[in-house]
Structure 1
Amino acid sequence: MAMLTKRVSVRCARSLVYTHTEVMPDWVKTFTKLEYLHVEGTFGSSLSVLPNDMFDDMSALTFMHLGVHPGMQQLPSFAGLTSLKSLNLAVFPSLVALPSVDTLHSLERFVIAGLPLLDSMPDLTAIRNLKWFAVVDRGTWCCNGFYKPCNLSHSMCQVHQIWGTPAATCLDPNRSEKVPTAGTLELIAKFPFSVCAGEALVPGILEGPPTPETMAQCNGTLYRQCEVSGYPEAMCYSARLMGVACDPNPFPIEMRRRQIAKGVGDLCDPTAEAWLGCK
């Protein structure tokens, strides 16, 4: 079990990406001058719990990304994060609720991705300066009647094809809890194209950790064409800073085609990328 040690210096930024950190010690809360925090786990090694008071004195923190922590069921209080401007929460298939965001007055960017058990949202009234709000890959609150009529036929309320999360049920229309405030509804309405607008992820869209087999086809070469059984095409790609591996996700493939067509991004290699339109 990997654990952050006190040999780590207290800097203004801390990034722990694929470090197999599974335990965050209690003394992490002494990082009171921390401004940037990025902790990215893997599907085989990740955090399952954070100290309850971890953020109580982190008023300097402005950016936080927590991603791929499948076993975590609860997050610490956000009350101390009074300067936070960007909050990204990704791939928490066991998380059942978000903490209060009443003190996140400075928040400008809020991304929730892959939190399939969320059946409601906390009161969002205090977040007045939000410039970008995105919710992707199922929170059942998108379709269970929390803020609009219940629609259990929507993919975000059905059995999740990746996480295996069971189908949702409609919230009681006469409930006294899990009722959105006017401020919450107003904020959600400002982002109709990025909040609950898409479908739940399906296999082939979310990249898992590379394997020796998927990496062998690429041999470190980005954008090379490769093969994954059951998919029409696949490309060697480094998803989320992972190793270059054969990936059938159609979105990076389309992105690279558009980059080549418009002459932007990395210079293309006519040998490896002719199939994408490179000449």
Structure 2
Amino acid sequence: MESLQVIQDLAPLKHLLGFVIFSICPACCNGFLGACDTSDWFCTGNPELGTSASSCLGTDAPRPTAESQAVFQQFAVSMCIRTGFDIARVVDLLSKPQIDVCGGVPFRRCEHPPNSGAFGICMNNRLQVLTCVVNDDYVRLRQVEIERKLGPACDAVKEAWLGCSS
């Protein structure tokens, strides 16, 4: 959404059920949806992702109508959602070493890069191939699933490191 500098008037949308702006979007930084802050990490661009830094809108640029502002306020929690991928210095979701270390075993403890001391969990991230994801939030998510007996049944051998027992 790098080219989304402004958002069209939302007044005609009378029965809007949801509104989401996910990831890097200039409208979140350039003053259209709030104060212009191009120093925020979310607005500085990411060459690895091909996004450029945001700049503030000019004084003659369109501004949201009162109706649009009401919609933005209503859906504020789902607007300008920041993700870890937005600040990633290297996006390498499907590297062969990340896949191979899992050996096809879901929820296995994995280390990537090898011998780095960075441990993660083997999982299907966003419906992709089983890969080593080094993210403590995903490890904790699986631990909570095990504690609450949610999701796939745990394997007491392969998931002992996550707190699974027989």
- 1:1-279 to 2 correspondences below 5 Å: 115-160=1-46, 162-172=48-58, 174-175=59-60, 177-196=61-80, 198=82, 201-203=86-88, 208=93, 210-229=94-113, 232-279=118-165
**Contact 2:106–2:130 at 8 Å: present in 1 too?**
yes
Give the 4+ runs in structure 1 shifted more than 3 A: 197-200, 204-207
- CA-to-aligned-CA distance 1:23-60 (integer Å, 9 cap, x gap): xxxxxxxxxxxxxxxxxxxxxxxxxxxxxxxxxxxxxx
Unaligned stretches of 5+ residues in structure 2? none
Higher relative contact order (CA 8 A, sep 6+): 2
Q: Which has the higher helix share?
A: 2
For 2:76, the aligned partner's letter is P
How far apart are residue 199 of structure 1 and its match?
Answer: 5.9
Unaligned stretches of 5+ residues in structure 1? 1-114
How far apart are residue 186 of structure 1 and its match?
Answer: 1.0
How far apart are residue 118 of structure 1 and its match?
Answer: 2.0
For 2:55, the aligned partner's letter is T
Q: Which has the higher strand share?
A: 1
Alignment: residue pair count: 162
TM-score normalised by length of structure 2: 0.82
How far apart are residue 161 of structure 1 and its match?
Answer: 6.2
**C-alpha distance in 2 between matches for 1:232 and 1:215:** 15
